[in-house]
Structure formats: C-alpha cells, structure tokens
C-alpha cells in the first residue's frame, strides 16, 4: 500500500515532463526556422476545431468513467468513478507505458470500497476490453490500407514494422492470457500467483495474494453470468474512449489545415494512430514521454506539409492529451488520499 502511494508522489511528474519537453525542445531547435510556427492562424475555424479536439478528450474520459461504473455493477458513483479514472490516468502518465497504472488502479478501486479480488477483476476486465479493441481494429485497418498504416517516408521503417509486430504479438498473447484467466480457468491464475509468491522476496505476501486470487475466482464466476447488455455497454464505452483519443489528432490537424484532408485521409490518420499506439504501449518511458513526440512526427509526417511544423504540432498534441492528466492528478491525489486514509473513516467492503 505504501509502495503504491509512494509511486504516485507528485514529484514523479518531473520525469515525464522533463523527458517530453526535452525531446520536444530538441526537435524544435533541430528544425527551427522562420516557418516553425507559420501554420498558426487563430481564425474562428481554428478555435472551433481546437475546442472539438479538447472535447474529444472529454468524450474519452466520460466513456471510461461510464465503463468503470458498468464494470463495477453501478457500485461506484459518478464522483467516485471520476476520481478513479483521473487517478488511473495520472498513475499511467507517471509510469512506463509498458507497466501502466494497473497496480494503482486496483488500489484506487479497493479504497473506494471494492474487495481486493473484485478490484483486480474489474481492472483486468477493463484492460481486456482495451486489448480486444486493439487486436480487432488493427487487422481491419491493415486490411483496408495495408502498409500505408506505417509511415512511408521513415528512415527506420524496418525497426518500426518490427516494433509494431512485436507489440501486437505481446498484446495478443496478453489478451489470450487474460481471457483464459477471467473466463476459462481462473484456477490456473491462482496456481500462477501461488508459484510467483513462493520466491523469498515475495513469500511474506503469499497468503494475501492467494486470498485475492480466490476472490478473483469468485468474480470470474460472476463475469460468466453477465448479461449481453453488460458486455455491449462496456465495449461501446471502450470504442468511444479510444476513438475520442484518436480524433484529438484529427481535429487538431483540421484546426490548422482546414481543407487539406479528405474523408479517406482521416481514416488513414486513425489507422496510423492505431499502429503508433501499439508501439507506445510497450514504451519504457513514463506515459510514453519522448517516444510519443518522436513517433508523432514520424507516423504523421506525410500529412504535415512542412518538416518545421512537426515538433510544435507534436507538443500541442501532448498539451491536449497528456499533460492535463498530470495537473489533474496532482490536484486530486492529495485530496483523495486524505479522504480515504482518514482515521475515523469506516470502509464498507463490497463482496
């Protein structure tokens, strides 16, 4: 518990900020010239599409909030769900993308009143739905656009394709493991946990881990009995969440280049982002900082007429879609911690 809290200390936001701004600064200075910001033209159309880009982040967050409410069988209020999602995003933003905010998310749900096993099952189910979205939509976009979902002019195209296939295979295997653990054989997951916690450094927490595994087995039985509506609502929320995230880039580009893109271009930009995020999901830096700014210019470079515009557009994209979670998290986290750790608070655990 203390380890989770320490991992979320506000000072940890310095690393992703420094890495992200460092890479953006390098890209700006490398290609800086008189035309670097020449694309900026704050007309009413520009403001309109920027507001739509910001609105898409709101759609994404609202979809995730609704999904966590559905996944917990409406045991969380909208306020509780908002806190959980914002803190989950904050923990993901300050953790390496390959690690994500899974552990802290379980902690947040547990502190909001769910049992350890149920919290674990809800988080794993949410992750499972996200991964299903990827493993289904990526092949669809590849079938439509082929190798065009990769940046055509990249000097590191071989490395990008390798990273893409490696990331997709990792996600596919992980999704199969989650599906097997949640819906087919949760006993296997319990055996795996029991084996992991036999290591000397972990043995002191073995009984607690086995208890959580037992709760997961019970929750697995409940998941098997969920209605079609439960899964339909959850999956639609997942689709809206990821589509909202991707449309940020589409509307951002529209804000500065109003008439440049056709409908087909917008779907191709969507497909590029899918392949881009496959790589970002296995990024070793906090929240993909540095990597995201770099791959943005690489993957979407052929949709931007001037090389000098890559860095400011990448930075602007991150200012809309990433840095706000650092600010929101640092505001919400102390208030939430004070609430959940208040000594006279009595927790009601939902089995």
pLDDT computed for residue 350 by the predictor? 47
C-alpha–C-alpha distance, residues 99 and 154, integer Å: 27
More confident residue, 51 or 323: 51
C-alpha–C-alpha distance, residues 350 and 161, integer Å: 45
Domain ranges of the chain: 2-340
Tokens of 238: 């997942």
User: What's the rounded mean pLDDT across residues 163-170?
Assistant: 87
Query: How does pLDDT run across 231-244, given as a tens digit for each residue?
Result: 999 999 999 999 99
The answer to whether 154 touches 298, Cβ cutoff 8 Å, is yes
C-alpha–C-alpha distance, residues 235 and 64, integer Å: 11
Residue 114 DSSP SS3: strand
Tell whether the model's pLDDT for residue 1 goes beyond 60.
Answer: no
Q: List the one residue out of 42, 18, 58 whose CA is nearest residue 321.
A: 58
CB count, 10 Å around CB of 188?
12
The answer to whether 150 touches 275, Cβ cutoff 8 Å, is yes
User: What's the rounded mean pLDDT across residues 196-216?
Assistant: 66
C-alpha–C-alpha distance, residues 131 and 146, integer Å: 21
How is 251-300 classified by DSSP, letter by letter? HHHHHH-TTS--HHHHHHHHHHHHHHHHHHTT-SSBTTTTHHHHHHHHHH
More confident residue, 54 or 313: 54
Q: How confident is the model at residue 123 (pLDDT cuts 50, 70, 90)?
A: confident
C-alpha–C-alpha distance, residues 335 and 238, integer Å: 28
The answer to whether 256 touches 96, Cβ cutoff 8 Å, is no
The answer to whether 10 touches 330, Cβ cutoff 8 Å, is yes
C-alpha–C-alpha distance, residues 35 and 313, integer Å: 13
More confident residue, 238 or 124: 238
Query: How does pLDDT run across 17-50, given as a tens digit for each residue?
Result: 666 556 555 555 665 555 555 566 777 888 888 8
Query: How does pLDDT run across 53-107, given as a tens digit for each residue?
Result: 999 999 999 999 999 999 999 999 999 999 999 999 888 877 765 555 677 888 8
Give the side-chain half-sphere CA count within 13 A for 58: 6
Q: How confident is the model at residue 247 (pLDDT cuts 50, 70, 90)?
A: very high
C-alpha–C-alpha distance, residues 10 and 8, integer Å: 6
Question: What value does the CA radius of gyration of the chain take, rounded to a whole number of Å?
Answer: 21
User: What's the rounded mean pLDDT across residues 208-226?
Assistant: 73
pLDDT computed for residue 297 by the predictor? 76
Q: For residue 257, with 0-12 CB atoms within 10 Å meaning exposed, 13-18 middle and 19 or more buried, which class applies?
A: middle
Tokens of 91: 């923990």
């Amino acid at each position: 518990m203390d380890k989770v809290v320490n991992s979320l200390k506000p000072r940890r936001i310095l690393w992703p900020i420094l890495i992200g701004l460092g890479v953006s600064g390098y890209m700006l200075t490398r290609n800086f010239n008189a035309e670097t910001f020449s694309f900026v033209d704050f007309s009413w159309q520009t403001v309109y599409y920027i507001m739509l880009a910001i609105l898409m982040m709101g759609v994404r967050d609202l979809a995730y909030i609704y999904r966590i409410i559905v996944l917990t069988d409406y045991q969380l209020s909208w306020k509780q769900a908002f806190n959980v999602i914002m803190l989950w995003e904050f923990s993901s933003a300050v953790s390496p993308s390959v690690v994500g905010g899974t552990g802290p998310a379980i902690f947040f749900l547990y502190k909001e009143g769910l049992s350890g096993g149920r919290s674990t099952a809800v988080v794993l189910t949410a992750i499972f739905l996200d991964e299903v979205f990827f493993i289904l939509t990526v092949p669809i976009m590849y079938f439509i656009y082929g190798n065009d979902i990769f940046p055509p002019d990249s000097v590191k195209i071989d490395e990008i394709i390798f990273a893409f296939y490696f990331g997709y295979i990792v996600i596919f295997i992980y999704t199969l493991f989650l599906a097997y653990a949640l819906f087919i054989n949760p006993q296997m997951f319990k055996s795996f946990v029991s084996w992991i916690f036999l290591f000397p450094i972990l043995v002191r927490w073995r009984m607690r881990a086995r208890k959580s595994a037992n709760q997961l087995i019970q929750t697995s039985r409940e998941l098997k009995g969920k209605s079609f509506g439960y899964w339909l609502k959850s999956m639609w929320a997942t689709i809206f969440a990821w589509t909202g995230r991707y449309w940020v880039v589409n509307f951002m580009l529209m804000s500065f280049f109003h008439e440049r893109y056709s409908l087909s271009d917008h779907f191709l930009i969507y497909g590029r982002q899918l392949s881009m995020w496959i790589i970002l999901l296995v990024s070793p830096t906090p929240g993909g900082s540095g990597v995201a700014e770099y791959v943005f210019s690489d993957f979407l470079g052929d949709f931007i007429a001037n090389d000098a515009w890559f860095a400011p557009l990448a930075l602007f994209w991150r200012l809309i879609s990433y840095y706000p979670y650092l600010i929101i998290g640092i505001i919400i986290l102390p208030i939430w911690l004070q609430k959940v750790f208040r000594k006279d608070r009595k927790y009601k655990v939902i089995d």
